[in-house]
Amino acid sequence: MEKKTLILGVGNLLLKDEGVGIHVIRALEKETLPAHVTLMDGGTGGLHLISWLTGYDHIIMVDATLDTHPPGTVRLIRPKYASDYPPLMSAHEIGLRDMIETMILTGDLPEVHLIVVSAANLNEVNMELTPKVEASIPEVIKVIRELI
């Protein structure tokens, strides 16, 4: 039996690369996915998403991170605790960590994969991704397809 899977893109579309998770969801909406997979635009995330996340066996989150890797670098992380999450340095970071901690405490945390894309710019107001981050979207989709 296939795992009921949620692909959750989080981020702020108004802050350039910060919105990469949402751009990935929009790209996946144009593709054919297995019936056991659901897509969700999680916006800026947070505790309000918990009720939407229950009932899934597997959650794949896609988000931007500001780190030492070159912009557009795609990494797959299997976090077990909120402290395992990389520094996302975005407006929704605290909400996502709180959400994961709450799900751990309630015993409702399913299998989680986090796909992070190293961002070039998280602060400029613009709805377009930088070229290197935009070019990473096919790689993110490839990783997602391998996980589902």
- Concatenate the DSSP letters of all residues of 87-109 into one string: ---STTHHHHHHHHHHHHHHT--
CA distances from 19 to 1, 82, 110, 111 (A): 33, 21, 24, 24
Alpha helices in the chain (DSSP H): 20-28, 50-53, 93-106, 131-135, 137-147
State whether the Cα torsion 80-83-89-90 is positive or negative.
Answer: positive
We report the CATH number of the domain holding residue 50 as: 3.40.50.1450
Specify the pLDDT at position 129: 95
pLDDT band at 82; cut points 50, 70, 90: low
Is 83's pLDDT higher than 80?
no
What average pLDDT does range 79-100 have in this prediction?
A: 60
Total domain count for the chain?
A: 1
Its domain, for residue 133, covers 5-147
Give yes or no for residue 46 having a pLDDT over 80: no
| The two structure tokens encoding residue 6 | 């949620």
| Interior angle at CA 116, CA 12 and CA 59, nearest 5 | 90
Confidence (pLDDT) at 89? 44
pTM of the complete model: 0.86
Enter the tokens of residue 20.
């990469």
pLDDT at 75: 95
Identify which has the larger pLDDT, 52 or 13. 13
- Calculate mean pLDDT across residues 47-59: 78
